[in-house]
Chains A and B, each alone.
Chain A
Amino acid sequence: METGTSRVKRGMAEMQKGGVIMDVMNAEQAKIAEAAGAVAVMALERVPSDIRAAGGVARMADPTIVEEVTKVVSIPVMAKARIGHYVEAKVLESMGVDYIDESEVLTPADEVFHINKNEFTVPFVCGAKDLGEALRRIQEGASMIRTKGEPGTGNIVEAVRHLRLIHGQIRKVQNLSKDELFNEAKVLGVPYDLLLQVAEAGKLPVVNFAAGGVATPADAALMMHLGADGVFVGSGIFKSDNPEKFARAIVEATTHYTDYKLIAEVSKNLGTPMKGIDIKTLSGFDRMQDRSI
């Protein structure tokens, strides 16, 4: 009997496919998310849009929040640790969190090194803007990848950019000869063996979700259309006028992302979506996606 194997950790993410993972800040929101059909909840102290508004250093949530959420739902509970913050991750693991997001939404604890996720029993998800980042995180032990997007903006454009780029780069390496692949590994800054796996399989060796800026059911469906395995929704749901209805609408649009009549139906009267932020107005410092490479 073996726990924490790569198959067990990656397999956990496979079971989330086609689903929606929702940010929640307390037990009550967690129950709403579960009732709406979320496949997992991300327990947080503040959603990304509030982190953005508040400024300052964003850290791992108060363990009380994680504990409360864990008590009230039967679906998996995820929580965020700062990039490179080994101890926050160990604390979350010790609390029985089912998946850790080593996340750029929080202020990085280390601007160079990520956590060595291979030595954990609990699986990790990490953000990526391109194939190089995705494979570096997988080499460090990430069992799931998500686009970084630009969290808390309600603007899907960066998530679209990242997913398109990753898929475009995968298609490119599929067409490279072995000798070209050696050089491409060097250019991308990734291990050759991992890149070869991607070239042969035509996909990442782990599940790849969309995250960062999903604000409407149609946004979620767009990411599925572009080939995401599932969707993270952060600030959108509990910042909306009717979180229950909004959450259900996102779940249905994700499952039936090619059924446009259904998406029209579930999108009716959802109230005002997040106002959103034009990415061009963000200064370098405010771009969470640039916090790691």
Chain B
Amino acid sequence: MKIGVLALQGAVAEHIRGLEAAGAEAVAIKRTEELESLDGLVIPGGESTTIGKLMRKYGFIDAIREFSAQGKPLFGTCAGLIVLAKRIEGQDDAHLELMNMTVQRNAFGRQRESFETDLDVKGIDEPIRAVFIRAPLIKQVGEGVDVISTYKNEIVAARENHLLACSFHPELTDDYRLHAYFVNMAREAAERRG
């Protein structure tokens, strides 16, 4: 499986390491034409306003929507989750508007409120260590979205068919089970495409 990591800004190298540890070939993506050869794409953590602006500037909004329309999986972490969402609280427009959910940015407060904790994730056996940094929350999910993890009754990870999103940073730990989960999604999607 060849998985791209959108490399406009943010924690790119960490995702590449995670994807490689999960057995995939991983590449940093800076231009839309590089999407073509991929089986899946990770949108990493970073600053969502920066990533969103650069995506618009370089034509990634339409290119990734098209990528998604082919059933190729997308995985957004933290800022990436915000970028995937259909709706962002307090904002008139969102970015990719692909995943049927409403997100709240900086939902836990400022950096001093950032934290790490152990979380249960549906589809993964043992709890994973989740690092939340100025993290967003999924405040509401629409039809077709499966909640796969919650923290204090708030949604922190969800899946909608070939779309996966979490508010924390699996790439900041040495536990790459969530990356493996995504690589598996890419494998299943590739089999379906034939």
Query: A38 contacts which chain B residues (CB < 8 A)?
Result: 50
In the complex, which of the residues B46, B111, B134 contacts A122, with contact meaning CB atoms closer than 8 Å? B111
B116 interface residue (CB < 8 Å to A)? yes
Decide: B46 and A18 in contact? CB cutoff 8 A.
yes
Give chain A's interface secondary structure class.
loop
A140 interface residue (CB < 8 Å to B)? no
What is the CA–CA distance of A23 and B57 in the complex, to the nearest angstrom?
23
Query: A252 contacts which chain B residues (CB < 8 A)?
Result: 54, 57
In the complex, which of the residues A1, A11, A39 contacts B9, with contact meaning CB atoms closer than 8 Å? A39
Decide: B115 and A39 in contact? CB cutoff 8 A.
no
Query: A98 contacts which chain B residues (CB < 8 A)?
Result: 110-112, 134
Stretch among A2-10, A164-172, A212-220 lining the B interface: A2-10
Decide: B115 and A255 in contact? CB cutoff 8 A.
no
A174 interface residue (CB < 8 Å to B)? no
Decide: B133 and A255 in contact? CB cutoff 8 A.
no
* Residue count of chain A within 8 Å CB distance of chain B: 35
What is the CA–CA distance of A182 and B45 in the complex, to the nearest angstrom?
37
Among B30, B111, B169, find the residue whose CB has the most chain A CB atoms closer than 10 A. B111
| CB-CB under 8 A for A7 and B172, given A14-B14, A18-B7, A18-B10 | yes
Decide: B116 and A5 in contact? CB cutoff 8 A.
yes
What is the CA–CA distance of A255 and B55 in the complex, to the nearest angstrom?
11
In the complex, which of the residues B78, B109, B117 contacts A2, with contact meaning CB atoms closer than 8 Å? B117
| CB-CB under 8 A for A39 and B11, given A3-B114, A12-B111 | no
What's the minimum C-beta distance from B8 to chain A, rounded to whole angstroms? 6
What is the CA–CA distance of A17 and B44 in the complex, to the nearest angstrom?
11
| CB-CB under 8 A for A251 and B50, given A3-B113, A11-B169, A96-B110 | yes
What is the CA–CA distance of A272 and B13 in the complex, to the nearest angstrom?
36
What is the CA–CA distance of A40 and B7 in the complex, to the nearest angstrom?
18
Contact with B along A86-112 (1 / 0, CB 8 A): 000000010011110000000000000
* Residue count of chain B within 8 Å CB distance of chain A: 37
What's the minimum C-beta distance from B190 to chain A, rounded to whole angstroms? 29
A256 interface residue (CB < 8 Å to B)? yes
Decide: B111 and A76 in contact? CB cutoff 8 A.
yes
In the complex, which of the residues A1, A76, A256 contacts B115, with contact meaning CB atoms closer than 8 Å? A1
What's the minimum C-beta distance from A63 to chain B, rounded to whole angstroms? 15
| CB-CB under 8 A for A122 and B112, given A15-B45, A15-B78, A75-B49 | yes
Query: B57 contacts which chain A residues (CB < 8 A)?
Result: 252
B122 interface residue (CB < 8 Å to A)? no
A154 interface residue (CB < 8 Å to B)? no
Query: A121 contacts which chain B residues (CB < 8 A)?
Result: 112
Decide: A39 and B50 in contact? CB cutoff 8 A.
yes
In the complex, which of the residues A11, A37, A93, A97 contacts B131, with contact meaning CB atoms closer than 8 Å? A11
What is the CA–CA distance of A3 and B169 in the complex, to the nearest angstrom?
15
A74 interface residue (CB < 8 Å to B)? yes
- Having A3-B115, A76-B47, A252-B54, one finds 7 other A-B pairs with CB under 8 Å, namely A8-B133, A11-B11, A15-B46, A15-B47, A19-B50, A37-B54, A74-B106
Task: Rank and list the top 7 A-B pairs by shortest CB-CB distance, nearest first.
Answer: A98-B111, A18-B9, A39-B47, A96-B110, A37-B53, A1-B117, A3-B115
Using CB atoms and an 8 Å cutoff, list the residues of chain A in contact with chain B.
1-5, 7-8, 11-12, 14-19, 34, 37-40, 74-76, 93, 96-99, 121-123, 251-252, 255-256
A-B contact pairs, 7 of them (CB 8 A): A3-B114, A17-B10, A18-B46, A34-B49, A74-B105, A98-B112, A123-B111
